[in-house]
Chain A
Amino acid sequence: MFSFDLLLDAIVAGILVGGFYAAVSLGITLAFGLLNVVNIAHPAFVILGSYAAFVVNSGFGLDPILAGLLFMPVFFLLGIGVYRIYYASFEKRGEESLRGLVFFFGIIFIIEVSLSLQYGVDYRSVHAAYIGDSLRLGPIDLAFRLAIPCAMALVLTLALHLFLSRTFYGRAVKAVSQDHLALRLMGADPVRIKGLAFGIAIATASLAGALLIMIGPVEPSIGREYIGRVFAIAVLGGMGSIGGTLVAALILGVLESLTSTFYGPSWAPAVSFGILLLVLAVRPSGLFGRAG
């Protein structure tokens, strides 16, 4: 049943989905890779973003991407707030590993259950004019439903990369992950910088959530399916490397797509997580990360 057309299609589909995966994983790269905050609740925030987009889309007919962008400042503030609590309760006392993880685990549950209490467990979708149509480029079909989220994800990745490498605050974020004390000596408050960075990470969840609900229907507990994926991507890409995250996400997307097409979709999740375990065992610093 093998044909080059099929292979090409599978790869293209994998790239499109992989781009979207990158959007979801950027927040982890920031929070975990750069700030060392193991925010396993990030996918739950993404789902929160999806519901925010759903509410404005069904209530006011607003385009989901616009909705996602609209909520970014709100999520940014939310992120700063969460970080403050995290910092005061754990980081200050130096006990972040065990308790921080548990804290975020509890957050996952609070978000999920609150959403299901409020909106029920029915699947929710958004309406937009371009969902359902595709663009034909020669032998390839690009569904708008997938292509637009992928494009937005690339834009987000680029924006984040520029922020981190070109702006003062961005470079401060990179610095704080490397050397607290030096940063303080330079006059920047590390806690504020970290709060800012974490806020940005959660803000990306807002947009990622909007993209997620464009691709398919959403209900409160599907965030759990993404926890493993996003960490696999963050680890594979190398902690803290934005570009690495994108590459890793694309790789994962393509591998999942190829497995799905040629071996059967049942094995796709195991493949992704198999990669995670393999990377952890063989090269924990990932493809582009700093060693150690």
Chain B
Amino acid sequence: MARMLRSVRGMRAWGVVTALIGALGLVAVWAPPAVAEGPIKIGFGMALTGGVAGNGKAALLAMQIWAEDVNKKGGLLGRKVELVYYDDQSKAATVPGIYTKLLDVDKVDLVVSGYGTNLIAPAMPIVIERKLTFIGLFGLAVNEQFHYPHYFGIMPAGPSPKTDWSAGFFEIAGRQNPKPRTVALVGADAEYGQNALAGARENAKTHGLRVVYDKAYPPATADFTPIVRAIQATDPDVVFVASYPPDSAGMLRAAHEVGLKPKLFGGGMAGLQFASLQTALGPMLEGVVNYEFWVPERTLKFPGIEDFLKRYQERAKAAGVDPLGHYLPPWAYADLQVLGQAVEATKSLDQQKIGEYIRTHEHDTVAGKIKFAPNGEWAKSRVLMVQFQNIENNDLKQFGEPGHRVVIYPDEWKSGTLIYPYAKAKR
């Protein structure tokens, strides 16, 4: 009796399961009919939750502003533009599914990437297989693996991103007289940190700096005092840090407490470009030389940037993103500007034509003029090295004004002079 009951129950459950799988199969075969005219759909995955959601949401806001701007002027090729996007949760595993849904089910006309290498790379096989043009937002050396001719990276680091990231920092060191002799390298043991450190090692060699400390710390580190003390024990002239936002704060605080004062400090500290850390650290930032991609200095007033930032800042608070928006948003906007301009110029949605156009022309964007190198990265690096100066308190307003993040390098965009050594800036 029991066995019969069990088999009946089992069959019912089995029936449910088979029905579910069958339903999945049926849905797979049926595909909704494609729409001939109507809006041009641009599809992408974006990190709206998870680890990099702070940047992802800011990028999305910028892209939405772009779509509104374009539609106000009549759209692309006379058709309205529509953004179709899904949350990739900052997880690489969701990306293949999202992009196949966008292409096969939603039938988008164009695709762009999400934010960051982790979320760009998994989409590459799909775009390569279907021969699409693909613009990547802030991916580090993604195309090194694929060598795809129609990948274009919106990443201000130049043709060799790993070394370009820290090249400016070491160039500044090399220009000082007397030249510093030793450098301590420290970074987070994660993708960005390791890449930046690898580049830094090469740059150190190029400028003849001896590496006296070279270690990575796990991202879960709570306290940086032992690390900073170990660095101090080696008495370096220059300290290069490749850290993620929480570690940047931790390192800076620990350095402040321990009294670490090399001649040059900073380099690759992510997070110091954001309002939340700027206001938290305030005067502790004084004298730090760090990377930026855009700052409100007079040498960087590209056409349209101030207008864009104003509109972004109006909506930033409601969207829960960085209130200033200097770091990623201009590039997300420029990302779609490049795509949109290519569509207009070639008067088509043909992926090959668009790809060729992007590759062979210079583009005017709110983030300045962009030209791509043959490997899909930028022809010329535009990693800025800025020094925090005149930081009096923890207010946000000063970071929105010129004179507080002074561009030291490259010379093309220089807006002030370096206060050297670091101790002098600290007064």
Contact = CB atoms under 8 A, between A and B. Distances in A.
Contact of B246 (A217, A257, A260): A217
Contact of A125 (B249, B256, B259, B320): B249
B116 to A, nearest CB: 14
B223, B230, B256: most-surrounded residue (chain A CB, <10 A)? B223
B284 A269 contact: no
B215 A264 contact: yes
B223 A133 contact: no
Interface in B207-243: 215-218, 220-223, 225-227, 229-230, 233-234
A145 B249 contact: no
Interface in B244-265: 245-246, 249-250, 253-254, 256-259
B323 to A, nearest CB: 11
Contacts of A133: 257
A6 interface: yes
Interface stretch (A9-17, A79-87, A164-172): A9-17
A121 B253 contact: no
Given A122-B276, A217-B249, A9 B226 contact: yes
A265 B216 contact: yes
A10 B226 contact: yes
Contact of B253 (A13, A122, A127, A145): A145
B230 A216 contact: no
A14 B258 CA distance: 15
A127 B230 contact: no
Contact of B218 (A3, A14, A258, A268): A268
A3 B235 CA distance: 13
Interface in A120-145: 120-125, 127, 131-134, 141, 143, 145
A120, A145, A260: most-surrounded residue (chain B CB, <10 A)? A260
A9 B274 CA distance: 32
6 contacts: A120-B53, A123-B246, A123-B276, A134-B257, A265-B215, A266-B218
Interface in B48-102: 49-51, 53-54
Interface in A141-162: 141, 143, 145-146
B393 to A, nearest CB: 11
A17 B253 contact: no
A187 B229 CA distance: 57
A221 B274 CA distance: 20
A145 B257 contact: yes
Given A1-B230, A145-B257, A216 B223 contact: yes
A123 B276 CA distance: 8
A229 B215 CA distance: 23
B394 A261 contact: no
B256 to A, nearest CB: 6
Provide the main secondary structure of the chain A interface: helix
A5 interface: yes
B226 A257 contact: yes
B17 interface: no
A34 interface: no
A146 B246 contact: no
Nearest to A141: B258
Contacts of B225: 9, 13, 143, 146
Given A216-B246, A266-B216, A17 B280 contact: no
A132 B246 contact: no
Kindly state the interface size class of chain A when it binds its partner.
35 or more
A260 B226 contact: yes
Interface residues of B, number: 39
A179 interface: no
Contacts of B217: 260, 264-266, 268
Nearest to A8: B229
B189 interface: yes
Contacts of A258: 226
B256 A132 contact: yes
Contact of B394 (A16, A122, A127): A127
Interface string B131-166: 000000000000000000000000000000000000
Contacts of A268: 217-218, 221
B257 A127 contact: no
B52 to A, nearest CB: 8
Contacts of B280: 125, 127, 217
Interface string A94-137: 00000000000000000000001000111111010001111000
A261 B226 contact: yes
Given A133-B257, A141-B257, A264-B215, 20 more contacts: A5-B233, A6-B229, A13-B223, A16-B223, A122-B276, A123-B249, A123-B271, A124-B276, A127-B394, A134-B258, A143-B254, A145-B253, A217-B277, A225-B220, A257-B226, A261-B229, A266-B189, A268-B218, A268-B221, A269-B220
Given A14-B226, A216-B250, A217-B246, A121 B234 contact: no
A146 B223 contact: yes
B257 A269 contact: no
A233 interface: no
Contacts of B276: 122-125
A9 B49 contact: no
A17 B226 CA distance: 11
- Which 5 residue pairs across A and B have the least CB separation, nearest first? A265-B217, A143-B257, A225-B220, A261-B226, A13-B225
Interface string A264-292: 11101100000000000000000000000
A260 B222 contact: no
B227 A261 contact: yes
A287 B229 CA distance: 31
